[in-house]
Structures are given as structure tokens and as C-alpha cells.
Amino acid sequence: MSGEPIIALDGVSFQIGEKEFVSIVGKSGAGKTTLLKLILAEEEPNQGEILFQGQNIYQIKKSHLPRYRQKIGTVFQDYKLFPAKTVYENVAYVMEVMGASDQDVERDVCQVLDLVGLAEKACNFPNELSGGEKQRVSLARAFVHRPDVILADEPTGNLDPYNTFDIIKLLIKIYKLGTTVILATHDKEVINSLGKRVITLDQGRVVRDEKRGRFML
Amino acid sequence: MISLKRIIKSGWSALTRNMALSIATVFIMTTVISLVTFLYFLSPVTDILIADVEQKVDVSVYFKEDALEEDIFQIKSEVAKIEEVDNVEYVSKDQAFETFVEKHKNDPVLIESLTEVGYNPFLASLSIKAKEATQYEQIVSFLEAGQFKDFIDKVDYYQRKPVIDKVYSFTAGVNKIGIGFSIIFGIIAVLIAFNTIRIAIHNSNNEISTMRLVGASNWFVRGPFLVQGIVVGFAAALIALLLTLGITLAIDGKIKMIIPNVSTFNIFTGHIFILFLIQVLTGVGLGVVSSLIAIRKYLKI
């Protein structure tokens, strides 16, 4: 059964600079997740292009996609941790994929687990962690290999206010370390407290793009 | 090299941490390999069975009273040259007499009547065994039509034809059943193994997508699943080998009572290396190929 095709994004065009913190806001279904999926080359648009460091990402060969994705760290709303791997192994995975040496993996994973405050849970499995802890592991995994960009898709969607601000504080810390952060959220308080650039989407279109934006729908 | 080490380590830890699923997969693979092993055994057992029945069938060519022994020997050497002939044995008049006496020594009436005849009434003969039951007709027509027909008194093929035909239809039937069993069980085995691994990989489909999204190459994602396929296949092959050893030992005596020439344990020990190779290839091959096919659709992301 297939209904009418739904246009998730239409005529969207903007540019994000290096070391910028940008929030993408909009109601559920506005196209935030689709936009992030397009940036990660998980989906392909019918028309248009996305340039990453000057290269059209849809012209990247399938075999080279992993290398492109290694430049991006992704934080998912539902964490997407590997259930059969420990916290340490989850965070180490990307570095292992990239072929880093065992010593580098150990050093960087321990550092980043310290940063997110989970050093003592390194040997635990995801099902032994709270929601907030899981999201911090997800953030550690996204950041451990020092990517150029962090994509955070509703990272606080399943968290209480205390854990929400914990995660946002960590994202700001990562941003201040020199990483571009693209945060998709519909959390009004988070956006208003950030005081950074906000791109507002509505029904798949950009309706507002403000340098120091606020949550307005 | 470092990637290979990590892939092997990752595959091994996934296997040991999902112990219940791993044991279930090994169990099913063991069943599949045992099925293939059964098919492997079916072939030599039916061959022995067929050879045993065929061994009991022959035709005898009886020569006239006045046929000279040297003529018979010449015929014997000519018959032996026929491609379809497996074995030719000469039975002289005296040997035929002795065999009869030996066979009926407990039947005084028969022995007495033989004495009353006053001479050896038996004819010299050639006992001919063909390689296959279907070839007797050709051999007999060669003898009846050839230069030797004047020496021949009778050929007992026509009395034995119904028995030979039955043997032929029996061996053909057994072969057909064997091939049919092999095809059906072979397909079942492959389907069971493939579906088991497909389900196991389907359980990990979200993980596979995440691996791709965080930048893992296809081989880094596939690798651990292939390692698991290899380990599961090898473990299942080893268990199947031990099971085969136990079963062949246990049923050896019972099978011998039914078919005296068949020793399942001897077949096992005589074929142990090739059997284990088949079992390992079946286990590892099915594990690896099923994993490769099952994982393919999750790598499109």
C-alpha cells in the first residue's frame, strides 16, 4: 500500500560555518530528522545537493562513505548503543573502525569517558545504565575521534530536565573545543538558553534563520 | 592486521555474550550437519546393499558332455574379455559332483539315487557374474549367437531372468530413493541453516545500521558475523562428528544383524577424515554463505 508521496524538505538552503553551533528547530514532522539523515548520507534527496567541505556528499562513492561519516559524530535520540558491548567498547568502536592503535584508543576513550563523567562505568553494559548515562555514552562515542561535526538528533528527547541540561552542557563543551555542532530539537527551554544560531523549519521549509535565535513556532 | 584482530575479537565476544542464541544456532547447525552426514552414509550403505544382492546373482553356462576342457577354457578366456563381465569361474564335472555331494550329504535318498545312476551326471559349466544386473542379457546373447553355441548345452539365464529383473528394479529403486532423499534433505538442511542465521542477524539489524552510520566499512561490519559463522560451523561439525561416532558404534551390531556386510562403525573409521572435512565444510560454508547473504540487505545504508 502506498499513499501520496510526502515532501519532507522543500527548497531548503543554508550554510553552516566551521566551529559554529546551530540549532535546527521545528515541530514533529517539520523535517529536522530528515535533514540530519541527508547530512549523514543516510538518505538521498530527489533534487539538490549538500556540500561538505566543498564536496557534494552524494557524489562520494559508496566505498568512501565510511571515511566521510568518520568526520561526523552522531548522537541519536534513542542512543543506538551496541547492547552486547561495554561502555568502553561502545566508545572505542569508531576509533577501532578508523584503525587507531590500541594505545591511542585506550588514551582517548579514557579521556572522553572522564569528560562525560562515566569513567567508573566503563565496564558496564548499556542495559545497566540510566537514560541520561546512555546518552552521555552516545555523546562520548560521537566525540571520541574528534570529528569535524557533531550531529545531535533530539539528544534530550527521552531525558528529564536535569539530564537534558547535562547533555547540552557537554555539547557546548565540545563546541568550545572547536567542533561544529548541529543540534535538532523541539525543546524550547534548551534553545532559549543557548543564545546561538537557530534555523526554524516548518512543513519542510526554512521559515527563519537567526544568528541569536529563540524558539518561535 | 590490527583490523583483522579486532574483527575476530569482536566476533568472538558477540558469540560468548549471546550464549543462548549461540548455543541454539550451534544446535540447529549440528542437526543440519547430521542430516548431511546421514546422506553421506546412505550412499556406501546402499552401495554395499546393492553389491551384496548383485553378488548373489549369476548365470551358468552348461557345456555338452562331449565338450573338451580346453575348448571350455578357451571360451572362458573369451568370455572374460567381454567388458560387461566381472568374473568367470569354471566348474568341472567333478567339482559339480563334489559340491552336490557335500551339499546333500545329510540326504541319503539323493546320495543313493546318485550312486544308482552309476556315472557323473553333472555337466561342466562356467559361472558368469556381470558387473551390473542389466548386462546379463547382452552376455547371454553373445554366447548363444557366437562361435561357441555348438559346445553349449544350456544357459540358465531364462530360469533366473525374473530374479535378475527383480534385482535390477530393486537396485534402481534404492538408487532413486537415495537421490530423492539427498535432494530433499539437502534443500531442507540449507534452508534451516540459512533461516537460523538470517534470524540471528535480523536481531542485530539496528546495530548493523548504527555501525554503518558511525563510519564502519562493510567488511568491518560483516567480519564479526563471518567469524561467528565460522566458529558456530566448526563447533557444530565437531559435535556432529562425535555424535556420528556414538551413533555408528551404538547401531553397528543391530545393522549387522539385518545386513551382515554393513558395518556402520567401519564406514565411519574408514571415512573419518573425508567425513569430518565434509562436516566442517558444510558447517563453515553454510555459516559463512548464509551470513554473507543475510547481512547484505542491512549494509545498503
Q: What backbone phi and psi angles, to 5 degrees, belong to B106?
A: -95, 5
Residue B13 near chain A (CB below 8 Å): yes
A10 reaches B (C-beta below 8 A):
no
ipTM: 0.88
Q: Note whether residue A156 is domain-resident.
A: yes
Minimum Cα–Cα distance from A150: chain B residue: B214
Long-range contacts of B199-204 (CB under 8 A, 24+ apart): B200/B21, B200/B25, B201/B225, B201/B291, B201/B294, B201/B295, B201/B298, B202/B294, B203/B21
Q: What is the C-alpha separation between B256 and B262, in angstroms, rounded?
A: 6
Nearest CA-CA distance, residue B14 and chain A, Å: 6
Task: Pick the closest to residue B201 from B176, B179, B229 (CA basis).
Answer: B229
A111 secondary structure, DSSP code:
H
A130 within some domain: no
Flag whether A73 is in a domain.
yes
> Do the domain assignments include residue A11?
no
Q: Is A69 close to B13, i.e. CB distance below 8 A?
A: no
Residue A106 in any domain: the answer is: no
Q: Is the CB of A175 inside 8 Å of chain B's CB atoms? A: no
Integer-rounded Cα Rg, in Å, for chain A is 17
The number of domains in chain A is 1
The torsion angles phi and psi of A100, rounded to 5 degrees, stand at -65, 155
User: Tens place of pLDDT for every residue, chain B, 301 residues?
Assistant: 778 899 999 999 988 988 888 898 899 889 888 888 887 777 777 777 777 766 777 788 888 888 888 888 888 888 888 888 888 888 888 888 888 888 888 888 888 887 887 788 888 888 888 887 778 778 888 777 777 777 888 888 767 777 767 777 877 787 788 788 778 877 887 888 888 888 888 888 889 999 999 999 989 999 999 999 899 999 999 999 999 999 888 888 887 777 777 787 888 888 889 989 988 998 899 889 988 998 888 888 7
**Pair A91, A100: CB distance under 8 Å:** no
Contact criterion met (CB below 8 Å) for B52 and B290: no
The parent domain of residue A201 ranges over: 21-81+146-210
Amino acid at B28: I
Look up the CATH number of the domain holding residue A196. Answer: 3.40.50.300
Q: What is the SS3 assignment for B59-73?
A: EEEEECCCCCHHHHH
Decide if A76 is inside a domain. Answer: yes
Pick from A93, A99, A102: CB nearest B214:
A93
CA A126-B13-B191 angle, to 5 degrees, is 105
The structural domains of chain B, ordered by start, are 2-53+169-299 (no CATH), 65-150 (3.30.70.3040)
Q: From first to last of the 217 residues of chain A, give the pLDDT tens digit.
A: 557 788 888 889 999 999 999 999 988 888 999 999 999 999 889 899 999 999 999 999 988 999 999 999 999 989 999 998 999 999 999 999 998 999 999 999 999 999 999 999 999 999 999 999 999 999 999 999 999 999 999 998 888 888 898 889 999 999 999 999 999 998 888 888 888 999 999 988 999 898 887 777 6
End-to-end Cα, chain B, rounded Å: 26
Match 573502525 to its residue by C-alpha cell: A97
Smallest Cα–Cα separation from A21: which of A162, A151, A187?
A151
- Who contacts B15 (Cβ-Cβ below 8 Å, separation ≥6)? B22, B227, B228, B231, B232
d(CA A48, CA A27): 24
| Distance (Å, whole) CA B123 – CA B74 | 17
Which residues in chain A (68-87) have CB-CB distances under 8 A to chain B?
Answer: 68-70, 72-74, 76, 80, 82-85
Residue ranges of E strands in B32-109: 59-63, 85-91
Does the CB of A14 have a partner CB in chain B at under 8 Å? Answer: no
A127 Cβ under 8 Å from any chain B Cβ: no
**Which residues share a beta bridge with B88?**
B128
**The pLDDT value given to residue A22:** 94
Residue A1 sits at the chain B interface (C-beta within 8 Å): no
Q: Has residue A113 been placed in a domain?
A: no
CB contact under 8 A, B215 and A42: no
**A54 in B contact zone (CB under 8 Å):** no
Residue A2's pLDDT is 59
pTM, two decimals, is 0.73
Q: Which of B16, B58, B69, B47 is nearest to B179 (CA)?
A: B47
End-to-end CA distance of chain A: 33
The overall longest dimension of chain B from CA atoms, in Å, is 104
Q: Are B14 and A84 inside 8 Å of each other by CB?
A: yes
- Which cell is A19 given? 566551529
